[in-house]
Chain A
Amino acid sequence: MSATPPVTGPPAAPPGPTSSVDDSAVAVLGRLSAALDELPAQRPVAARVIAETDDVRSDARSLGHTLGFDPALTAKVLRLANSAYFGLSGRVGAPSFAITVVGFATVRSLAVAAMAGLEDTPPCLDSFWERSLLTAVAAGEVAARLGVKAPDAFSLGMLSRLGQALLVRCDPVEYPALLAAASSREEVLEAEGRRYGVTHTRVSAEALAAWCFPEDLAHALSQVDRAGWAVPLAVAVRVGLELSERILDPARAPRPVEHLTAGHVREAELDALRAPVQRTAADMVRLLTS
């Protein structure tokens, strides 16, 4: 739960009186706030892992030790470390080495995913993991071009849709209906804004802030779907989202990537990334959801 102006506030504090957000939506936001407090207690090991990844005194061994208390989470980290994305396929056996390979940021993202209960995504979130991992891999791939750290871009990309899962959890009837009515990601965002006053990426950012994610990461995520200038990390996630939507929702009108990235990434570059990203993400989906 952050006190930083751009991030805090909205989830718990509805926008001004002119907003069309109705009472039931306010209740949803209340439930959401409560959920952010409750979830860590339900997955205490994951919460502990998140805290430790941000501690400069932590190393792979100590983090591996903590991780070991959550076998499901450990298995995920191990599987991911052995994915093609990290280039060491099949060579990672020890959890501490797996942490070394994927990096703390990714471990933290997996812990957040575990804490948010993303293992069992509701059916209304169509291709949730496919989308999330396509976003993550693509964001990671363009990170260097944008001057940001790939592990950060990867983990934010992976968690950018976290808010959707939380919204389903807190608004189990209306939110799926909202999703069903929308024909594109842009329509979803619009509908979310209308109903809750915030978008699901903003909710994701809020959750990260609440769960002790590094401030700048939560801050960056909050900018992803906000109009105008954004920090480079947010731009990387934007590119990831764009590519994932292009792949999974071919009917949607693509947004020019030059606009999204202020000219840092070109369409041709995005096209070149498409196939490898798709391949890598498919590999990860198989590993993380099996």
Chain B
Amino acid sequence: MELEAWRGRGDDLHPGVSAALLHLVGAADQPVLVVSRPADGAGVEVPRVRWANAAAADLLGVDADHLVDLAVSRVLRGAGAPTALLHERSTRFAVQALTAGGGARSTEVVAWPVPLGAPAVRTHLRSTDAPPGDRLALDGEDYWVLQVALPTDERASATLRAAEERFATLAQASPVPTIVSDVGARLSHVNDAFAELLGVPADTLHGTGWLTHVPEEERGAVVQAVADVLDGDRTSLDTRLCRADGQLRWVQLRLAPSRTPGYGAGFIGTVEDVTERLARESRLAYQAQHDLLTGLPNRLALLEHLTALLAAQVHPVRSPHATALHPVALHPAAAAPHGASPPVAGGHPVGGAVGVLVVDLDDFKTVNDGLGAEAGDEVLVEVARRLSRTVRGADLVARPGGDEFVLVCHDLADADAVAATARRVLDALVAPVDVNGLRLRLAASIGVVLLSGSSGSGEELLRDAAIAVAEAKAAGGGRWRVLDDAVRSTARRTLRLVADLREALARGAVEVAYQPVVHPGRPAEVVGVEALARWQHPEFGVVDTETFVALAERSNLIGALDAHVLTVATRELARWRAAAAAGEVPHAPRWVAVNVSATTLSAPGFADGVRRRVAEAGLQLSDVCLEVTETALATDLLACRTVLEGLRADGASVAVDDFGTGFSSLAYLKDLPVDHLKVDRSFVRDLRSSGEGPRGGPARAVAAAVVSLARTLGLGVVAEGVETLEQNEVLVELGCDYLQGYLYSRPLTAEGLHDVLRAGGTLQPRPVAEEPEGPPAAGPARPATVPSPRQVRA
């Protein structure tokens, strides 16, 4: 090949070029010598130096001129060997360069035979008419060019070696697993950290040994990364490695190309164990999606699941059987012979709807409050375990929060399937749960919503299911309700009412009606009024009082409602007082009674609110009676007592509303911070003159007992719901201080009451037409109030 290369380069070389080349070689850093020996000497003659450049002279410490004609072996020991110089090709061999000073340096020589094709040779051939193709004999000599490799710079190589050793030490001691390949995918070095990562001796990882730790499914990617890095690209990939003990570790493999002259391309790689980091990340991801107490999917995961299900309902996956969605229409011949069996697609009943069951534990608050949060947690964990056992593989149990669980069940083909599932859930909770040595019996209410094409978002689904739960709870708990259209529309109407009520309260659009409380007599004097909230809905008309008070209680509006009524009523009372003072009316009511719910009563700042509003109206607390139900008092007696006693100390009076319908016991009554009892209308209603016994019938005995009890405790008595003269008479006879009812007046507007006061402030008892159930036209009024006890006593 070399010969080929020499041939054909330029024809007749210009003498100037020859001179330039000679100059170049003469000035080169590399020692160059030209040697020759007789062509016909059969290799026995010693080759001799014919020319040497300055670098060769420097190396050998002899002037170039003095080198000429020296046997080459005199200066380059080993170059004289018969086999060192060949005609056919270049050779390379080691020699000892002998310097003038007697030193010897090991180095290498490359010897190039001067070929036939060299331009100068050709010139010579032409001049001597030698037959072409013969091997050249210039002056009967064969010539070679000897190029001496410069003696290695020992300091440079030591530096290089030191650098290599530093790198090796660094890599070996590095805590980062490191791998090195000199060539291809075969490793030549791995450090201790890498061997440790895989739990095997480093030896076994050399060559392709490390690849055996790459799991089969990852190998393609790893090998591709190696191929890329060998091609010169830096590369990085996440993959797994299998330890000797079988454990899989996630690693990030970073490969950088490296090239070793004379060997080819390899790479240097670092292998970072990211298992812990990934585990942490996946743990976080898990936590983001799961309830940590029960391990069930949380609200976020549930909503994602529902969203996916809803999307699948909108865009069902097309299958070969998808046309079976309407099998009868499309394939009349295939109409199900059994008629009743549901149409089937892909082996699943088409009607197999997905149902969302919201399971809410009944009275869980009691467990939590009574036994502590830890006990509550135990119960929740047990419930989670039981619910998980009731569902099938594809179904989901989630805990969106609190004591609420959600089941997403598939294949709820019909109402029976829904019922069976709900019953299964309730049954699962029947067995008692042992907590803190107590056996708790759990019950739950279940609201069911079936997914349909028109289902809204996941959030809406859960809201709908919550409505159904509320229905189930309202029906007594321990049961289930499917959200049907009726329930849904009721719920929607309720939502609407709540929104409108909030708005009406904000605008002050809830009206207040006043029912006179009279001192019995003919005529009876109006001594007080009970303020009653009335709400005229712009669309639905007058809303039933029970309804909107219940709504206000459920939607946390009751405080605002109570405050509104107190504000308006005190303002009106102040107006009537002013009218009386001006001589416009003979006298004004002595007090106004307002209802206070349990929630309002226990809200912080209630007492201050009452004081402020009363003061703003320019009244005294003694002008106000707070009417509280027995139930409210029972809920939080201690807190109520503190609040009420404070207000009473400043003059306010307190009445127990609906007395006799709650759980009042005598012992309990005597400690209550109240001034007054209000006999419930149910006792008053039964007071009739007909029948055997004393006037007023058997109910009289009850009413008498109540009145007598109040008297014994030193409390005033008001009877409400008085509608007939008979009732009036009996109550007067029993010694009731005040009366209230349709017999005297229905609840009136502020103006209506003003008219009554203007007319003298007295009322004539006037029996109403037979109306068995309570206040009819005045329906929306809130149940009656109690007069201020002090005023009553006054």
What's the Cα separation between A45 and B88 when bound, in Å? 15
Chain A neighbourhood of B247, CB < 8 A: none
What's the Cα separation between A149 and B84 when bound, in Å? 29
Candidates A47, A101, A106, A144; contact of B189 at CB < 8 Å: A144
Does A54 sit within 8 A of B, measured CB to CB?
A: yes
Contact status of A87 and B211, CB under 8 A, knowing A4-B94, A33-B83, A37-B88: yes
A188 to chain B, nearest CB (A): 26
Does B457 sit within 8 A of A, measured CB to CB?
A: no
What's the Cα separation between A47 and B89 when bound, in Å? 10
Candidates A51, A59, A106, A144; contact of B206 at CB < 8 Å: A144
What's the Cα separation between A84 and B579 when bound, in Å? 111
Contact with B along A59-72 (1 / 0, CB 8 A): 11000000000000
Closest B residue by C-beta to A44: B1
What's the Cα separation between A44 and B261 when bound, in Å? 23
| Stretch with Cβ within 8 A of A (4 or more), from B222-230, B235-243, B589-597 | B222-230
Closest A residue by C-beta to B73: A3
Does B207 sit within 8 A of A, measured CB to CB?
A: yes
B637 to chain A, nearest CB (A): 83
Contact B208 A103 (CB under 8 A): no
Candidates A40, A56, A85, A212; contact of B208 at CB < 8 Å: A85
Candidates A86, A210, A212; contact of B184 at CB < 8 Å: A86
Contact status of A101 and B81, CB under 8 A, knowing A48-B1, A91-B223: no
Does B698 sit within 8 A of A, measured CB to CB?
A: no
Within 8 A of B (CB), among A1-44: 1-4, 8, 12, 33, 37-38, 40-41, 44
Does A141 sit within 8 A of B, measured CB to CB?
A: yes
Interface of A is mostly: helix
Contact B230 A103 (CB under 8 A): no
Contact A86 B231 (CB under 8 A): no
Does A128 sit within 8 A of B, measured CB to CB?
A: no
Closest A residue by C-beta to B86: A37
What's the Cα separation between A144 and B333 when bound, in Å? 77
What's the Cα separation between A87 and B95 when bound, in Å? 41
Closest A residue by C-beta to B184: A101
Contact A91 B227 (CB under 8 A): yes
Contact status of A149 and B182, CB under 8 A, knowing A1-B86, A87-B211, A91-B224: yes
17 additional A-B residue pairs with CB within 8 Å, beyond A37-B88, A81-B184: A1-B83, A1-B84, A4-B94, A47-B89, A59-B259, A60-B264, A87-B211, A88-B226, A88-B227, A97-B227, A101-B184, A103-B182, A103-B183, A144-B189, A151-B182, A151-B264, A212-B90
- A sample of 13 cross-chain residue pairs with beta-carbon separation below 8 angstroms, ordered by A number, consists of A4-B78, A8-B93, A33-B83, A37-B89, A81-B184, A86-B208, A87-B186, A91-B224, A100-B230, A103-B263, A105-B262, A143-B206, A149-B188
Does A286 sit within 8 A of B, measured CB to CB?
A: no
Give 3 nearest A-B pairs by CB, closest first: A103-B183, A3-B78, A87-B185
Contact B206 A101 (CB under 8 A): no
What's the Cα separation between A214 and B86 when bound, in Å? 18
Contact B83 A8 (CB under 8 A): yes
Contact status of A149 and B263, CB under 8 A, knowing A12-B83, A47-B1: yes
Using a CB–CB cutoff of 8 Å, the interface residues on chain B facing chain A are 1, 4, 78-79, 81-84, 86, 88-95, 108, 182-186, 188-189, 203, 206-208, 211, 223-224, 226-227, 230-231, 259, 261-265
What's the Cα separation between A44 and B211 when bound, in Å? 38
Does A104 sit within 8 A of B, measured CB to CB?
A: yes
What's the Cα separation between A99 and B265 when bound, in Å? 9
Chain A neighbourhood of B231, CB < 8 A: 97, 100
Contact B185 A88 (CB under 8 A): yes
Contact A150 B186 (CB under 8 A): yes
Chain B neighbourhood of A54, CB < 8 A: 262
Contact A145 B93 (CB under 8 A): no
Chain A neighbourhood of B91, CB < 8 A: 1, 210, 212
What's the Cα separation between A2 and B188 when bound, in Å? 29
What's the Cα separation between A89 and B224 when bound, in Å? 10
Contact B262 A104 (CB under 8 A): yes
Contact B264 A104 (CB under 8 A): yes
Closest A residue by C-beta to B81: A3
A243 to chain B, nearest CB (A): 15
Chain A neighbourhood of B226, CB < 8 A: 87-88
What's the Cα separation between A88 and B214 when bound, in Å? 13
Contact B208 A150 (CB under 8 A): no
B260 to chain A, nearest CB (A): 9
Candidates B4, B92, B186, B265; contact of A60 at CB < 8 Å: B265
Contact A141 B263 (CB under 8 A): no
B47 to chain A, nearest CB (A): 13
Chain A neighbourhood of B261, CB < 8 A: 56
Contact status of A144 and B188, CB under 8 A, knowing A40-B89, A87-B226, A151-B183: yes
Chain B neighbourhood of A91, CB < 8 A: 223-224, 227
Chain B neighbourhood of A106, CB < 8 A: 183
Contact B223 A88 (CB under 8 A): yes
What's the Cα separation between A57 and B250 when bound, in Å? 40
Closest B residue by C-beta to A215: B94
What's the Cα separation between A144 and B203 when bound, in Å? 7
Contact status of A102 and B263, CB under 8 A, knowing A37-B88, A41-B88, A145-B203: no
Chain A neighbourhood of B90, CB < 8 A: 51, 212
Listed residue (B183, B189, B211) with the most chain A CB atoms within 10 angstroms of its CB: B183
What's the Cα separation between A81 and B231 when bound, in Å? 14
Closest A residue by C-beta to B187: A144
What's the Cα separation between A54 and B264 when bound, in Å? 11
Does A204 sit within 8 A of B, measured CB to CB?
A: no
Does A53 sit within 8 A of B, measured CB to CB?
A: yes
A65 to chain B, nearest CB (A): 13
Closest B residue by C-beta to A46: B1
What's the Cα separation between A88 and B450 when bound, in Å? 56
Contact with B along A88-113 (1 / 0, CB 8 A): 11011000010111111110000000
Closest A residue by C-beta to B210: A87
Contact B186 A105 (CB under 8 A): no
Does A140 sit within 8 A of B, measured CB to CB?
A: yes
B570 to chain A, nearest CB (A): 91
Contact B206 A8 (CB under 8 A): no
What's the Cα separation between A105 and B90 when bound, in Å? 20
Contact status of A100 and B206, CB under 8 A, knowing A44-B4, A56-B262: no
What's the Cα separation between A151 and B262 when bound, in Å? 11
Closest A residue by C-beta to B82: A12
Chain B neighbourhood of A53, CB < 8 A: 262
Chain B neighbourhood of A4, CB < 8 A: 78, 93-94
Closest B residue by C-beta to A103: B183
Chain B neighbourhood of A210, CB < 8 A: 91
What's the Cα separation between A54 and B92 when bound, in Å? 11
What's the Cα separation between A2 and B93 when bound, in Å? 5
Contact status of A150 and B206, CB under 8 A, knowing A3-B84, A3-B94, A102-B183: yes
Candidates A12, A38, A101, A145; contact of B230 at CB < 8 Å: A101
Chain A neighbourhood of B207, CB < 8 A: 85, 140-141, 144, 150
Contact B227 A3 (CB under 8 A): no
A290 to chain B, nearest CB (A): 22
What's the Cα separation between A99 and B264 when bound, in Å? 7
Chain B neighbourhood of A12, CB < 8 A: 82-83
A85 to chain B, nearest CB (A): 7
Chain B neighbourhood of A144, CB < 8 A: 188-189, 203, 206-207
What's the Cα separation between A143 and B186 when bound, in Å? 12
Listed residue (B83, B226, B227, B263) with the most chain A CB atoms within 10 angstroms of its CB: B83
Closest A residue by C-beta to B91: A1
Contact status of A105 and B89, CB under 8 A, knowing A53-B262, A85-B208: no
Within 8 A of B (CB), among A197-253: 209-210, 212, 214-215
Chain B neighbourhood of A269, CB < 8 A: 203
A279 to chain B, nearest CB (A): 11
Chain A neighbourhood of B224, CB < 8 A: 91
Contact A97 B230 (CB under 8 A): yes
Chain B neighbourhood of A212, CB < 8 A: 90-92
Chain B neighbourhood of A48, CB < 8 A: 1
What's the Cα separation between A33 and B83 when bound, in Å? 9
Contact B94 A103 (CB under 8 A): no
